Structure 1
Amino acid sequence: MRICKYIFTCVLVVYISNLYGQSKIKCDLIEITNKAFDKNPTIKRSSYTIQDAEADLQVQKGTFDINLFSEISAKKDRYTLFNADPRNQFIDKVLKSNTVGLSAGLRKKLRSGQTTDISFNYGFNDNNFPFDAFNQPVGPFWGNHTTSVNLSLTQPLLKGRGRSITTTSERISSLYIENSKNNNEFTNSYEILQVGLAYWNYYTAFKSLEIYRQNEGRVRNVLDITKELVKADKKPAGDLAQVNADLANQEKLTTMAEQNLYEARINLGRAIGLNNEESQQLDIPLNEFPTIAESAYRDGLDKNAFIEVAKEKRGDVKAVEKISEALEMQYKLAENNKKPQLDLTGFVYYGSASAGNGIDKAFTAFTNNEGRNIGAGARLTFSFPVNNNWARGNYTKSEIALRDQKVSNDNLQRNIDLNISNAINNLNNRVIILEKAKEALNYYQEAFSNEQIKFQTGLTTILNLILFQERLTSSELEYLQAYQQFANAIIGFRHETGTLISQDNNGFTVDQKAFYTIPNTDNY
């Protein structure tokens, strides 16, 4: 019976352990950033702008679609003749006629600027008057068939002339697609930056809780030592009150640290794009802070070299280049639209006619020699709005947009220069702060250890011991925060230079070295 209970307990423990392991989300930098690419709402929305831009290009391509058109009509007409009309002697007062019309064709605008139009037309009509147009007696409702084929080519001479103008909107849309892709890249870099910052904050909160718990353990150890010293009459009993008060304070700080860890976990999940339940399933952080040695940090970082890297790699820089090019094209198009519309159209046509009833007469109408009509010609059309406010207004708006973009581009470059300078200076200072924080921590650890020995031998007071203990805890926390700021400086530097994320045929990826090393200007 005991063996069965033991086996059952073991199976239950294994099951619960597996269930617990499955419910946890591995908190590894690469895994959570890959998850962010799939779940972060800002990243997902940013990708929709690319699809929207691609749809705009499809709309512009519609300008050059082949347009099919057709029409069919039928009409019955009943016309009451005047009493003096000589046709009254042949028909009963009312002239009855039937008309059928059929047309079909296609129209296409070419990218070279011309518009082609080809159409086929067929018409049939008859009436109850027994004579034809030549006064021949043919009987009532004798059919007349006409057919024609028309081909025309229209060439703009002023407004809309040339491939460079005709395809402008299409090429602008292509540039907006590139602009959207580059902006999407920079947006993704920013969101991954937020994930990185949130991770280091989570890691700091996790380690801070460990420090508070260790400190709480040190206080409990001091309490035990004090109790033993009081029993041995080496310390007054009043020292116990001081240590108990310090212990209560440390327990409060530990609880606050637990709350900070909870908030840091939720905020990391928020940055990734997880919901509340998923955020709470984030496991302990697996990646430790980068060290100064592995970061490839060195004195005298060349600001200008990193600025050149940023110009080459940052998505927003590449995006504004595309938008500037698009606005330049828009400006030229608006300038062309100020011109009058002057179109030259050349056309040829072929037609024929036949008379008689029967389907065969409808088909022979196109090939019948009698009534054949062949011709060619040209026409020149001119149109121009007198005030031309629409074109003039759009031209002014395009000119202003171009100037505004120039200011925006210069401002972006200015901010890149400032941000790179600030990032380098920040990194330099974070390295110094981290080194000094480590130095201070070493001294405080040594001082606290010495103070513990002095306390046990009665050479110092409990207040001094508590003071050194608090200084040690503060030093540990400051060292941890200095490490966090150093790690933040690295990924911030990566983002500013456009080297935080990369892209291949499979999408965006993040190399772990982006969280641990500064960019190497020799590789760009």
Structure 2
Amino acid sequence: MRHCLSALLVGLTVLTSDVYAQVKGNLIEIARKAFDKNPTLLRSGYMIRSAEADLQIQRSVFDLNSFSELSFRNNQYTLPGADPRTAYVENSILRNNVLGLSAGLRKRLRTGQLTEFSLNYGFANNNYPLNSFNQPINLYLGTNTSGFTFSLTQPLLRGRARPIATALERANYLYLLNAKSGNEFTTSYEIWQIGQAYWNYYTAYKNLEIYKQSEDRIRNVLAVTEELVKGDKKPAGDLTQIRSDLANQEKLTIMAGQELYAARIQLGKAIGLSTEESLEIDVPENAFPTIAESAFTSGLDKADFIRMARERRADLMAARHGHEALQQQFLLARNNTKPQLDLTGFVGYGSASTGNRLGDVMASFANNESRSIGTGARLTFTFPVNNNWAKGNLTKSYMALNDQNVVVGNIQRLIELDVSNDLNYLENSVANLQKAGEVLNYNQVVFRDEQVKFQAGLTTLLSLILFQERLMTSQLRYLQAYRQFAQAILNLRHDTGTLIVPDSKGFVIDRNAFYTIPDTSNH
């Protein structure tokens, strides 16, 4: 019964992917699938879009803006009895109508100036039969006025220089670069996690094979012992010991099946799959990298890898972009502590005409008799007495800049520590793998010899069981040594910023990133 349950669980665990497989167990395809499924990567992409929107918002400060206004006003004024105009106005009520129309363009330049161009038109009439020259005119004869005005405002203190005018735009551009570099590091981290989960999945899959092989060896010993017992060459009590050992091995196989199930779920979690999708991951296709193909050589220069990491690590680039952005904000905050003194120069043209016809309206723009041309300047001074807002912002900006200095320095420190640890771990994993391979070879030879001796009656059953367990243990340890070596390559790739490669369409995930150490010859 126990054997049936073991076979059922193992069969369900191993063959699930064979029956329902929709996710291929290819490491590169699994890693690429994460771009569509992994929630962390999706959110990181949204952060880039948000940063792009922030930059677009800041660039709107320099957009060309149009403005316009249309107004109409009707006034009725009852003249006092002593007003001489009562003789000319019906019922002593002076009525007038005023129409105003203005339109223009306004733009702030990246050099700091504010420019404005406006066009103004006005129309007014009333029921008074005399004009301003006391000449008799028709009632409600209109007066048309028009004018053009151009002004240029130059900041003299606050906001004077070009770097100040574009500081926030530059800061938001740097925050966009920060978001992109942050996304690259996040992507590398998620691919690193997927790589780890995949190697754990592959290890669990191979572990199950080892336990099943161990079961088969014990069953073979059981079959041989049964024949020896029939021939009175071995005592029947040996069968009980072997069956006990077989039951224990079946228990280990069941546990290995559970570990494989958990490893498959963990891999699906790292990719971003649901439970159902995770269970559809097929058997792993990619074996561990070998020492030969990894391009590993003893005595790797740590300084070369640290230099590469400083150039390639996206989190360090993101921190540097953030530092530059905060520098721009600090310049702006320091500038805002200054008083505001603006000099505005303007030039204007105006003309007028009398009449209610369209031609009279157009004549108001070019009537020589009423033409006026003017120039002038205006000086505006604004000085907040306490200026606590600007002083507080300056202090906060200064603190943020110093804090980011600490962040950049700490990332550089951690890079050196991580790379140094990775290289040490890589060298030890190579040595461990080589030794584990030697131990496995010895145990395979010893177990084969022990089997021959047992059949010939030259050794005991306990000795054979002991060497069988040693062989299984050495197989498991050899597999673990391979997993550690594969993870050592993965760690070094991630910590040097060479696990993924950005391109115009996103990121490139190359097989070499999982199978070879970084090439420092070009750095």
| TM-score, normalised relative to structure 2 | 0.93
Residue 21 of structure 1 and its aligned partner are, at CA, apart by 8.6
Q: Deviations over 1:102-158 (max 9, x none)?
A: 111111111111111111111111111222222222132221221111111111111
Residue aligning to 1:83: 81
Residue aligning to 2:48: 50
CA distance in structure 2 between the partners assigned to 1:357 and 1:36 by the alignment? 73
CA distance in structure 2 between the partners assigned to 1:180 and 1:522 by the alignment? 30
Q: Deviations over 1:461-495 (max 9, x none)?
A: 32232222122111111110111011100111111
Q: Which range is displaced more, 446-455 or 321-330? A: 446-455
For 1:332, the aligned partner's letter is L
CA distance in structure 1 between the partners assigned to 2:285 and 2:349 by the alignment? 82
Residue 358 of structure 1 and its aligned partner are, at CA, apart by 2.3
Residue aligning to 1:4: none
For 2:415, the aligned partner's letter is I
CA distance in structure 2 between the partners assigned to 1:329 and 1:84 by the alignment? 68
Residue aligning to 1:141: 140
Local SS of the residue matching 2:343:
strand
For 1:329, the aligned partner's letter is Q
Distance 1:523 1:27, change over 3 A: farther
2:21 touches 2:282 (CA, 8 Å); kept in 1? no
Residue 506 of structure 1 and its aligned partner are, at CA, apart by 3.4
Residue 32 of structure 1 and its aligned partner are, at CA, apart by 1.8
CA distance in structure 2 between the partners assigned to 1:417 and 1:329 by the alignment? 29
For 2:380, the aligned partner's letter is T
Residue 349 of structure 1 and its aligned partner are, at CA, apart by 0.7
For 1:74, the aligned partner's letter is F
2:20 touches 2:280 (CA, 8 Å); kept in 1? no
Local SS of the residue matching 1:305:
helix
* Matches for 1:32-111 after TM superposition, within 5 Å: 32-91=30-89, 92-111=91-110
For 2:37, the aligned partner's letter is K
CA distance in structure 2 between the partners assigned to 1:244 and 1:380 by the alignment? 103
CA distance in structure 1 between the partners assigned to 2:137 and 2:186 by the alignment? 82
Q: Deviations over 1:185-212 (max 9, x none)?
A: 1111111111111111111111111101
Q: Which range is displaced more, 41-50 or 143-152? A: 41-50
Residue aligning to 2:216: 217
Local SS of the residue matching 2:132:
coil
Local SS of the residue matching 1:266:
helix
2:152 touches 2:346 (CA, 8 Å); kept in 1? yes
Local SS of the residue matching 2:521:
helix
Structure 1 alignment gaps of length 5 or more: 1-18
Residue aligning to 1:482: 481
For 1:72, the aligned partner's letter is L
CA distance in structure 1 between the partners assigned to 2:152 and 2:108 by the alignment? 10
CA distance in structure 1 between the partners assigned to 2:367 and 2:506 by the alignment? 66
Residue aligning to 1:170: 169
CA distance in structure 1 between the partners assigned to 2:164 and 2:234 by the alignment? 96
Count of residues paired in the alignment: 506
Residue 82 of structure 1 and its aligned partner are, at CA, apart by 2.1
Residue aligning to 1:233: 232
For 1:280, the aligned partner's letter is L
CA distance in structure 2 between the partners assigned to 1:520 and 1:353 by the alignment? 80
Residue aligning to 1:7: none
Q: Which range is displaced more, 24-33 or 395-404? A: 24-33
Q: Deviations over 1:241-270 (max 9, x none)?
A: 221121111111111111211221222222
For 2:379, the aligned partner's letter is L
CA distance in structure 2 between the partners assigned to 1:151 and 1:499 by the alignment? 56
CA distance in structure 2 between the partners assigned to 1:387 and 1:24 by the alignment? 68
CA distance in structure 2 between the partners assigned to 1:344 and 1:194 by the alignment? 59
Residue aligning to 2:287: 288
CA distance in structure 1 between the partners assigned to 2:448 and 2:20 by the alignment? 43
* Matches for 1:439-454 after TM superposition, within 5 Å: 439-454=438-453
Identity of aligned residues (%): 60
For 1:391, the aligned partner's letter is A
Residue aligning to 1:11: none
Aligned-CA RMSD value: 1.7
Residue aligning to 2:277: 278
Residue aligning to 1:10: none
Q: Deviations over 1:163-193 (max 9, x none)?
A: 1211111111221222222111111111111
1:160 touches 1:166 (CA, 8 Å); kept in 2? yes
CA distance in structure 2 between the partners assigned to 1:23 and 1:208 by the alignment? 21
For 1:405, the aligned partner's letter is Q
For 1:484, the aligned partner's letter is R
Residue aligning to 2:413: 414
For 2:240, the aligned partner's letter is A
Residue aligning to 1:3: none
Distance 1:23 1:464, change over 3 A: closer
Residue 274 of structure 1 and its aligned partner are, at CA, apart by 2.6
Residue aligning to 1:382: 381
Residue aligning to 2:254: 255
Q: Which range is displaced more, 338-347 or 141-150? A: 141-150
* Matches for 1:9-28 after TM superposition, within 5 Å: 23-28=21-26
Residue 522 of structure 1 and its aligned partner are, at CA, apart by 0.8
1:37 touches 1:508 (CA, 8 Å); kept in 2? no
Distance 1:66 1:375, change over 3 A: same
CA distance in structure 2 between the partners assigned to 1:518 and 1:29 by the alignment? 17
CA distance in structure 1 between the partners assigned to 2:158 and 2:68 by the alignment? 29
Q: Which range is displaced more, 63-72 or 123-132? A: 123-132
Q: Which range is displaced more, 425-434 or 138-147? A: 138-147
CA distance in structure 1 between the partners assigned to 2:246 and 2:82 by the alignment? 127
Residue aligning to 2:129: 130
Does residue 1:399 correspond to 2:382, yes or no?
no
Residue 23 of structure 1 and its aligned partner are, at CA, apart by 4.7
Residue 345 of structure 1 and its aligned partner are, at CA, apart by 0.6
CA distance in structure 1 between the partners assigned to 2:206 and 2:373 by the alignment? 93
CA distance in structure 2 between the partners assigned to 1:514 and 1:352 by the alignment? 76
Q: Deviations over 1:321-357 (max 9, x none)?
A: 2222221121111111111110111111111122233
CA distance in structure 1 between the partners assigned to 2:20 and 2:421 by the alignment? 43
2:18 touches 2:282 (CA, 8 Å); kept in 1? no
Q: Which range is displaced more, 100-109 or 450-459? A: 450-459
1:205 touches 1:260 (CA, 8 Å); kept in 2? yes
For 1:351, the aligned partner's letter is G
CA distance in structure 2 between the partners assigned to 1:320 and 1:463 by the alignment? 62
Residue 372 of structure 1 and its aligned partner are, at CA, apart by 2.0
Q: Which range is displaced more, 175-184 or 190-199? A: 175-184
Residue aligning to 1:5: none
CA distance in structure 1 between the partners assigned to 2:347 and 2:58 by the alignment? 30
CA distance in structure 1 between the partners assigned to 2:204 and 2:258 by the alignment? 9
2:150 touches 2:348 (CA, 8 Å); kept in 1? yes
Local SS of the residue matching 2:105:
strand
Residue 81 of structure 1 and its aligned partner are, at CA, apart by 2.0
